[in-house]
Structure 1
Amino acid sequence: MNDTTASDPTESDPTAVARRVAERRERLGLTEADLAHRAAMAPRYLGHLLQAGPEFDPGGFVRIAAALGLSRQELLEGRADAPPGRGGPGPRPRLLDLTDAECWELVGSHGIGRIGLPVRPGPAVYPVNYVVDHASFAYRTGHGTATAPEPGAEVSFQVDRIDEYLGRGWSVLALGTAQYLDDPEEVRRLDGLPGAAPWAGGDRPCWVRIRCAEISGRRLVTG
């Protein structure tokens, strides 16, 4: 049995790599001939490499990456901190509605979601790490911070997941009321749950619970 780690399928996808090369080249104001000159290769060979893919000539793609001011990994896999959705849709995409039970199954016991708050001059959305407790979302915040809603405020909470390579994913949206928790025993119990520690750090002693009046979701499937 070969115990080497399998490579990411995006690394050997010539179409995705060629698209990243073209986007970066155009951003730098380079023609294909300019890029070929920088990479010390004939323009015809550059075109052949982009069609054949990284496995054909790994060293050639190292030179292309350097000519574009990128690392090989950035060229083959894209930016690690890029927003999702840059790969485009998958084949024959369609949306399916999720049941309430499927929504709760997908959001799991904890993770990262987005709280939508009714503030002026318009609604504001912030990422927070949450825990799921008794069919509600809960997260920690600090007094007077951006993620601290008014008591009783009508809010939304959204969690999603995107498979960038396959063009699939899901999204869950909950609507409900924000309540601050002041029972010391309940606060201690929530503090001990997996995912309770705030990723943002700092002093965030307040627990906010989103009592869900409605939860809905959709799954994006392809093929």
Structure 2
Amino acid sequence: MPTHPRTDPSAAETIARRIAEREAGLGLDRDVLAREAGMSRRYLEYLTSVGPGFDPNGFLRIAAALGLSYRELVDGRADLPPGQAPPAPRPVLLRLTEEQCWEKIGARGVGRIALPGEAGPAVFPVNYTVDRGTVVYRTHENGAAAPAPGSAVSFEVDRIDDRRSNGWSVLITGTAERIDDRETLQRLMRDLAVQPWAGGARTLWIRIRPESVGGRRITSTPPGDQD
């Protein structure tokens, strides 16, 4: 099943306006913000249209790219004065090298595949494995997570602690293809036995050939250490 956004139109509109105002104040354009946040511009614009209920980790990265805490971006509240509450640490984004990105996602795990759609990206959780510099997953032959051959897709894996504002996120963009070579399929079944979450007897192996691999490590900076 796709990941459906939990939307609040008025809240999403307010946050989108807050992002635009912060961009203007920092002299950032939308492409630069998307790149700093480690996501495509299209995905960033989709997030701002549906609000943080869809992908809180994505908004944490946007906040860090704008030099804000998650609370400042989403709630519009500055840190409380000393003595009333501990000030919230600000998340800081650090770039990962491509080698570090592959190390982070490991040999297998759970990620999210984003496929193009008319209203915006359709996002599905999938269990994946890494095979010779590509990402591979299985899905039902007629499932929503089975892209047409040659589709441009995005694949994201993240491990983030929202409370502590730390963790990491890796974004892979590339092209999806269906694996139909018998020898390759036999090898995958033998060595990379990934069971699809989608039900049904007829399943496909999907390979994502990366065109770009990027990632961010998120860490928190204590308020006293900020410039």
Which TM-score bucket, shorter chain as reference? Answer: 0.5 to 0.7
Match of 1:157 among 155, 158, 164: 155
After TM superposition, the structure 1 = structure 2 runs for residues 29-178 of structure 1, keeping only pairs within 5 Å, are 91-164=89-162, 166-178=164-176
- Equivalent pairs counted in the alignment come to 140
Alignment of 1:218 onto 2:208 = no
In structure 2, list runs of 5 or more residues that go unmatched.
1-54, 61-69, 72-87, 222-227
CA separation in 2, counterparts of 1:136 and 1:108? 12
Structure 1 letter corresponding to 2:144: A
Contact 1:140/1:207 (<8 A) preserved: yes
Give the structure-1-normalised TM-score. Answer: 0.57
Larger radius of gyration, structure 1 or 2?
Answer: 1
CA distance in 2, matches of 1:174, 1:105: 13
Partner of 2:180: 182
Name 1:7's counterpart in structure 2.
none
Provide the rounded CA distance (Å) in 2 between the counterparts of 1:121 and 1:93: 30
Query: CA offset at residue 195 of structure 1?
Result: 6.0
Identity %: 50
Is the Cα contact below 8 Å between 1:130 and 1:195 reproduced in 2? no
Offset of residue 141 of structure 1: 1.3
**For residues 203 and 162 of structure 1, what CA distance do their matches in structure 2 show?**
34
Whichever residue aligns with residue 119 of structure 2, its letter is: P
Maintained 8 Å contact 2:143/2:198: no
8 Å contact from structure 1 (residues 179, 209) kept in 2: yes
Secondary structure of 2:114 counterpart? strand
Deviation at 1:192, TM superposition (A): 3.1
**Structure 1 pair 130–204 and aligned structure 2 pair: CA distance change class (3 A):** farther
- Partner of residue 192, structure 1: 190
Distance, in Å, in 1 between the alignment partners of 2:134 and 2:201 is 23
SS at 2:103's partner residue?
helix
The alpha-carbon deviation at position 93 of structure 1 amounts to 2.2
Q: Distance in 1 between matches of 2:183 and 2:148?
A: 23
Q: Is the 8 A contact 1:198 1:204 kept in 2?
A: no
SS at match of 1:189: helix
C-alpha displacement at 1:107, in angstroms? 0.4
Q: Summarize the Cα distance change of 1:135–1:103 in structure 2 as closer, same or farther, 3 Å threshold.
A: same
Deviations 1:144-196 (A, max 9, x none): 21001011111111110013553311110011010111112211222234561
Aligned residue for 1:198, secondary structure, equals coil
8 Å CA contact retained: 1:116, 1:123 = yes
1:29 aligned partner:
none
Aligned equivalents of 1:189, 1:216: Cα separation in 2:
28
The letter of the residue matching 2:153 is V
The equivalent residue for 1:209 is 207
Give the TM-score of the pair, scaled to structure 2. Answer: 0.56
Matched letter for residue 135 of structure 2: F
